[in-house]
Amino acid sequence: MNGFNDTAANTTRDATADLFPLPLVPFERYMYQDDSSDYPMVMVLIIQLKGNLLRDSFEQSVQFALHRNPLLKSVIGKVRGKGPCWIPVESPQPRIDWRESGTPAGTVQDRIDLTREIGVRISVDHWPNSSEVMFEFHHACTDGVGGIQFIGDLLGHYGQLTAPAGAELPELQSVQFDRLRDRALFSTSVDEQPAKSVSCPMMLCRRLLKLICRGPVPLASSRRRQPIGTNLDSPAIISRTIDRPELQELKVAAAQRSVEVNDLYLLVMFQTIRAWNEKYGRGADSNWLRIGMPTSLRTPLHDGIPAANIVSYMFLTRRAKACDDPDELLAGIRRQTSLTVNDRLGRFLAFGLKYILKVPGLLWLLLCLNRCFCSVILTNVGDIRRHFRGRFPLKQGKCVAGNVTLEALIGSPPVRPNTRVSASLGTYSGNLYVNMHCDPLSFTQEQADEFADAYVDRLSRLTASSKGASKAA
């Protein structure tokens, strides 16, 4: 059993002693600098639990998970000769807001100041037979996969503490703290790194210029932009569920078209953006639309690594009129995604930031422009259970953690200026969860619900058309 105790804590401190202070890598510096009160760089993950969550065991498990993920128990400080560095907090005290009430926790707090506090906050709404727990992660500390791993560590240990006598226990894999040094390496061999290529800066400049010249339009909004500090009390995440049978139909629809189901998600998002902008007065055929799709850069080099950012972005940019020919649009999406998944294209953003940081003030200038770099962010995390570092007992396909069962895990990346929606897709217990974070400074609650419903409705129509095609055949 991998229970947490004083010995385990001391072992963790000793194992990480020679790592810190740990300089920030370029992607972490970008996420740290692109943080503001108006648009906090906060990634939200919410878990829904069935059963009576025990507070003392939960808080012990939070400490256990923090010690397994050192960047989430660190602050940022400047170290002479190294620049901004991660500096671990010896006895981290994360903000845990525990409420014995029926008021949902799902509103994002103010920004996390990493110079003063660690990069995770937790809110718990507790009922006698269920709980909803919201985790706010600063995106400089971890990507979405790392956030899910942290939650898996927490639930795994909680299950070990609270399982009835004789019950099957969750099993947790070990973590390799020294792998944090490799979080900015994106291939199995250092010799394969694009940064070593002489042509990399020239190729990077061409791609950055192309991205800048094809400036996309933001999602249209009829809401007058709200001032900084406005308390809009809107939910952090809007979530819709597509059940197992309909998800299977989506997979059939993808197979009929010889594409991946993720390509269909992208196609439908382009169509939803186009229809939305037409409805709200930005429907010009010549407008550029862009979806930013986070892509994991994890390789065997990162096996056992604690929570960290090992991610880049793929950008899909199309004219609005391309949505008029969905077959051609889908074919183009498939060509681009098939080229990106397992080659070097997805790594260029991470290495691009390295070169941008070499020019004093350039990153600051790019951030100050507040341009729309993406119309929407869309990420697909796949099967959530596969991201847990360990194995859980299952009940009807759901993870059992001692006296509670994980009913759902939803979440979404932060929104940025003029990128007004970030969406996340993930499967759990056979269902597809469609989660969206809509910019509350630009969208009303009704508009946010309308956009989420429009996207899910188009996915449903896609499966309906595929059923009709199958019957006709």
- Each residue's pLDDT tens digit, 81-95: 889 999 999 888 888
Distance separating alpha carbons of residues 243 and 238, to the nearest angstrom:
17
Q: Average the pLDDT over 343-353 and give the result.
A: 54
Residue of 373, 381, 369, 454 whose CA lies nearest to 420? 373
Q: Where are the domains of the chain?
A: 6-173, 199-220+235-381+416-472
Distance separating alpha carbons of residues 254 and 95, to the nearest angstrom:
44
pTM of the model: 0.88
Q: Catalogue the E-assigned strands of 248-344.
A: 288-296, 311-319
- Each residue's pLDDT tens digit, 282-315: 778 889 999 999 888 888 888 899 999 998 888 8
Topology of the domain comprising 199-220+235-381+416-472:
Chloramphenicol Acetyltransferase (3.30.559)
Q: Average the pLDDT over 220-236 and give the result.
A: 58
pLDDT at 90: 87
Which CATH architecture best describes the domain 6-173? 2-Layer Sandwich (3.30)
- Each residue's pLDDT tens digit, 150-192: 999 999 999 999 999 999 999 999 999 999 998 887 654 444 4
What mean pLDDT value characterizes the chain? Answer: 84
pLDDT at 357: 63
Mean pLDDT lowest among 168-182, 286-300, 324-338, 444-458: 286-300
The answer, yes or no, to whether residue 225 has pLDDT greater than 70, is no
Tell me the pLDDT band of 201, cut-offs 50, 70 and 90: low
Q: What is the DSSP string of 46-110?
A: EEEEES---HHHHHHHHHHHHHH-GGGGEEEEEETTTEEEEEE-SS---EEEEE-SSS---S--S
The answer, yes or no, to whether residue 76 has pLDDT greater than 70, is yes
The answer, yes or no, to whether residue 212 has pLDDT greater than 70, is no
Judge whether 6-173 and 199-220+235-381+416-472 match in fold: yes
